[in-house]
């Protein structure tokens, strides 16, 4: 059974703070690591798909890094805004082309 762990489970930050969360996943048979943003009452939206060790991806104030050898990825948010409040999910895919296995998410609340 694949295990994808995310920490922290929840996080409260002040507007303007920068923050980061961790996703850990199996380091063997790695194919891809996804990050999704899930706002309340909406559906998850893809942020990044990362496949190469050392990958760094950026979208606006949000960026992510990937270490496949040790099995972790970080998501960073610079200068958090209230609209960044959401649950951030990471998901792992192995080389067997099995569907994504999701972590339980990190719930971010940005306080104005």
Partner 1 sequence: DTAVSQTPKYLVTQMGNDKSIKCEQNLGHDTMYWYKQDSKKFLKIMFSYNNKELIINETVPNRFSPKSPDKAHLNLHINSLELGDSAVYFCASSFGQGDGYTFGSGTRLTVV
CA angle 66, 68, 73 (to 5 degrees): 35
> Sheet of 19-24: strands edge to edge?
5-7, 19-24, 72-77, 62-67, 56-59
Q: How far is the CB of 87 from partner 1 (least distance, A)?
A: 8
For partner 1, give the closer residue by CB, 27 or 51.
51
Q: How far is the CB of 14 from partner 1 (least distance, A)?
A: 25
Buried b (16+ CB within 10 A) or exposed e, 17-37: eebebebbbeeeebebbbbbb
Q: How far is the CB of 47 from partner 1 (least distance, A)?
A: 8
For partner 1, give the closer residue by CB, 14 or 109.
109
The residues of the shown chain that bind partner 1, judged by CB under 8 A, are 31-32, 34, 36, 42-46, 49, 51, 87, 89, 93, 97-102, 104-105
For partner 1, give the closer residue by CB, 15 or 45.
45
């Amino acid at each position: 059974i694949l295990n994808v762990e995310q920490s922290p489970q929840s996080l409260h930050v002040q507007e303007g703070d920068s923050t980061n969360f961790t996703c850990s996943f199996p380091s063997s048979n790695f194919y891809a690591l996804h990050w999704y943003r899930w706002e309340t009452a909406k559906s998850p939206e893809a942020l990044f798909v990362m496949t190469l060790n050392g990958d760094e991806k950026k979208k606006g104030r949000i960026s992510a890094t990937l270490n496949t050898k040790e099995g972790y990825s970080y998501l960073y948010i610079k200068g958090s805004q209230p609209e960044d409040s959401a649950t951030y999910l990471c998901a792992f895919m192995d080389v067997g082309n099995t569907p994504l296995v999701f972590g339980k998410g990190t719930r971010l609340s940005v306080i104005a």
